[in-house]
């Protein structure tokens, strides 16, 4: 832990109290520091002593909380040898001890999502604050928390917990906290220094979501003021040097994936309409089932397409097969079915939630239509759209990597190899293709008025910034004084419904 830096002249009473703060939690340290500084404003010596005695009692209670947190962790922590990231544990822990920021690049199956928080726990980073671990989606946050809790042989909500919108499972003993990136974004509003955390793991950074890019920019400014805060950025092996450069050439450690060979078959469909795509999927299912027993993962554009495809598959009367949908609006109970094999062949119909942030166990085959709904802002029409577009090569390879985890796999692409080779290498970061009103409102509420100077990983188009400001003005979400700031009612507002656009910067949590 970093020593408390004392910048003002203190009396002996204050100095004695400050020396005891290095063994308390970060949040307690900030709170008690303010109280100790307040002693200097008290004129009466007796009154100073009385307050100091009360503070010392609180310090002792805070120290007991740390000891309690240490006792919750059952050592030694076990790391599965079959996971590639476990083979690099000593190297990762050494880098994390020596650097404030590290970048961990790993392919599908490396184990980075579940094992990195355990490494932080082994280093004692959960003793003085929480190990925050962000996921892009709620189902991923819940499922990863459950998996880590199982590996640590603890009840979910005790040592390991999670927080998503409208639901959480946490306790005073929680040291590893899974959450959506939207939750962390909302917490910045009330905890500017993120004092409850001693370490943050930003997972799936390669997705380049709007939330993650803002968080990485905010942390770029915060870390010099929080030298005791560790940061781990995890990514597929996609443009990881960009994250390293953003944080002053932070060290990169690459971890191989745990995969078997995957055969790619191209089966382009004749026409790009829904019926032809549906028939292409049915043909691919028949082809794969003829290859032998194994679960199939089919990527779909959205809920409607999933329901239509599920209905068509049901009519095929496939023997010993269950069909499982997977999309955001499903209940947690329905979503969790994918983690509990029934013994039947499974066909999982999923949106791109299954592309990176969530691993569906037991998948041997993948069917990839090659499209997804991608949010895109039109500067010309001033409209945010959600068109169906061809995915990038990187996304296609992520989808391919979903199979071949348990044995040799097959990925059928419903487009040609020439089409694949002509696609862009990466998907554009969301911040370069979206309306920026939500980000501008978030930044203004935090007092970050100079949007163009904010250290984004990729700077957005100035025209999009201007459009975002104009939209907020039209909605009455910005007040113009000497500086631009949101109305006071917005600053501490709770998450809002979709019908309240003034608050939409919270709706992604």
In this prediction, residue 509 carries a pLDDT of: 39
Q: What is the pLDDT of residues 143-187, one digit of tens each?
A: 999 999 999 999 999 999 999 988 999 999 999 999 999 999 999
* Mean pLDDT confidence for 368-385: 89
What are 336-345's contacts with CB under 8 Å, separation 24+? 336/143, 339/143, 341/295, 344/320, 345/289, 345/293, 345/294, 345/295, 345/296, 345/318, 345/320, 345/321
DSSP secondary structure letters along 30-61:
HHHHHHHHHHTT---HHHHHHHHHHHHHHHHH
How far is the CA of 223 from the CAs of 5, 109, 415, 483, in angstroms? 16, 30, 45, 26
Residue owning tokens 């002249």: 9
Kindly report the number of other CB atoms within 10 A of residue 408's CB atom.
13
Tell which phi-psi region holds residue 191, choosing left (phi > 0), alpha (psi between -120 and 50) or beta. Answer: beta
Does residue 274 have a pLDDT over 70?
Answer: no
Does residue 303 have a pLDDT over 60?
Answer: yes
Residue owning tokens 């419903």: 414
Provide the strand spans (E) within 301-438. 321-326, 345-350, 363-368, 371-373, 376-378, 383-385, 388-390, 409-413
In whole angstroms, give the CA distance from residue 272 to residue 78: 49
Residue 214 Cα to chain centre, angstroms:
12
In this prediction, residue 452 carries a pLDDT of: 85
Q: What is the pLDDT of residues 205-223, one digit of tens each?
A: 988 999 999 999 999 999 9
In whole angstroms, give the CA distance from residue 464 to residue 451: 11
Domains 84-255 and 262-428 share a fold: yes
In this prediction, residue 448 carries a pLDDT of: 86
Superfamily of the domain at 262-428: P-loop containing nucleotide triphosphate hydrolases (3.40.50.300)
In whole angstroms, give the CA distance from residue 281 to residue 412: 9
Does residue 1 have a pLDDT over 70?
Answer: no
114-139 exposure pattern, b = at least 16 Cβ within 10 A, e = fewer: bbbbbbbbbbebbbbbbbbbbbbbbb
Of the candidates 173, 145, 164, 193, which has an alpha carbon nearest to the alpha carbon of residue 73? 173
Beta bridge partners of 164: 167
DSSP secondary structure letters along 191-229:
-TT-TTEEEEEETTGGG--HHHHHHHHHHHHHGGG-TT-
Residue 59 in tokens? 């310090």
Residue-range domain boundaries for the chain: 12-72, 84-255, 262-428, 435-506
Q: What is the pLDDT of residues 453-479, one digit of tens each?
A: 899 999 998 888 899 988 898 888 876
Residue owning tokens 């190297």: 91
Beta bridge partners of 368: 413
In whole angstroms, give the CA distance from residue 349 to residue 296: 9
Q: How many helices (H) and strands (E) does the chain have?
A: 18, 20
The CATH fold assigned to 84-255 is: Rossmann fold (3.40.50)
Q: What is the pLDDT of residues 423-457, one digit of tens each?
A: 999 889 999 998 899 889 888 888 887 888 899 99
Q: What is the pLDDT of residues 313-330, one digit of tens each?
A: 999 989 899 999 998 788
Residue 226 in tokens? 């929080």
pLDDT bucket at 75, cuts 50 / 70 / 90 = confident
pLDDT bucket at 491, cuts 50 / 70 / 90 = very low
Does residue 5 have a pLDDT over 90?
Answer: no
- Tell me the percentage of the chain whose pLDDT exceeds 90: 59
Does residue 306 have a pLDDT over 90?
Answer: yes
Q: Do residues 132 and 158 lie in contact, with contact meaning Cβ atoms separated by under 8 Å?
A: no
**In terms of C-beta density within 10 A (0-12 exposed, 13-18 middle, 19 or more buried), how is residue 225 classed?**
exposed
Q: What is the pLDDT of residues 315-370, one digit of tens each?
A: 998 989 999 999 878 887 888 888 888 889 999 999 988 887 677 888 999 999 99
DSSP secondary structure letters along 261-303:
-EEEEE---SS-SHHHHHHHHHHHHHHHHHH-S-EEEEE-SSH
In this prediction, residue 501 carries a pLDDT of: 36
């Amino acid at each position: 832990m970093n020593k408390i830096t004392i910048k003002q002249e203190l009396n002996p009473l204050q100095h004695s109290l400050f020396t005891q703060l290095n063994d308390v939690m970060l949040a307690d340290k900030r709170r008690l520091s303010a109280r100790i500084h307040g002693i200097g404003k008290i004129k009466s010596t007796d009154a100073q002593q009385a307050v100091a005695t009360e503070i010392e009692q609180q310090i002792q209670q805070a120290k007991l909380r740390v000891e309690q947190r240490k006792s919750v962790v059952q050592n030694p922590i076990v790391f599965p040898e079959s996971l590639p990231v476990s083979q690099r544990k000593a190297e990762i822990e050494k880098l994390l001890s020596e650097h404030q920021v590290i970048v961990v690049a790993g392919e599908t199956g490396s184990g980075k999502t579940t094992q990195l928080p355990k490494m932080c726990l082994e280093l004692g980073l959960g003793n003085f604050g929480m190990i925050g671990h962000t996921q892009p989606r709620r189902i991923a946050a819940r499922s990863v928390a459950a998996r880590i809790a199982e590996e640590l042989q603890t009840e979910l909500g005790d040592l390991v917990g999670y927080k998503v919108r409208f639901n959480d499972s946490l306790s005073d003993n929680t040291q590893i906290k899974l959450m959506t990136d939207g939750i962390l974004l909302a917490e910045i509003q009330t905890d500017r220094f993120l004092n409850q955390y001693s370490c943050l793991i930003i997972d799936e950074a390669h997705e380049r979501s709007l939330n993650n890019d803002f968080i990485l920019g905010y942390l770029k400014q915060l870390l010099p003021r929080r030298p005791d805060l560790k940061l781990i950025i995890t990514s597929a092996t996609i443009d990881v040097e960009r994250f390293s450069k953003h944080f002053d050439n932070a060290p990169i450690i690459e971890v191989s994936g745990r995969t078997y060979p995957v055969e790619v078959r191209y089966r382009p469909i004749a026409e790009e309409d829904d019926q032809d795509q549906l028939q292409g999927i049915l043909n691919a299912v028949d082809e794969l089932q003829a290859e032998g027993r194994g679960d199939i993962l089919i990527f779909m554009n959205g809920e409607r397409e999933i329901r239509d495809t599920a209905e068509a598959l049901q009519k095929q009367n496939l023997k010993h097969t269950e069909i499982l949908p997977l999309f955001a609006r499903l209940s947690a109970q329905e979503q969790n079915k994918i983690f509990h094999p029934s013994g039947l062949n499974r066909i999982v119909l999923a949106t791109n939630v299954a592309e990176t942030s969530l691993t569906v166990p037991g998948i041997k085959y993948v069917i990839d239509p090659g499209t997804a709904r991608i949010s895109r802002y039109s500067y010309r029409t001033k409209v945010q759209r959600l068109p169906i577009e061809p995915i990038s090569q990187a996304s296609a390879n992520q989808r391919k990597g979903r199979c071949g985890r348990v044995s040799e796999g097959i990925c059928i692409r419903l487009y040609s190899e020439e089409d694949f080779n002509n696609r862009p290498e990466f998907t554009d970061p969301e911040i370069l293709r979206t309306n920026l009103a939500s980000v501008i409102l978030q930044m203004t509420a935090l007092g970050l008025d100079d949007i163009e100077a904010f250290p984004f990983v990729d700077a957005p188009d100035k025209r999009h910034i201007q459009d975002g400001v104009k939209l907020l003005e039209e909605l009455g979400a910005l007040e113009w004084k000497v500086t631009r700031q949101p109305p006071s009612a917005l600053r501490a507002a709770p998450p809002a419904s979709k019908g309240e656009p003034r608050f939409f910067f919270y709706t992604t949590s």
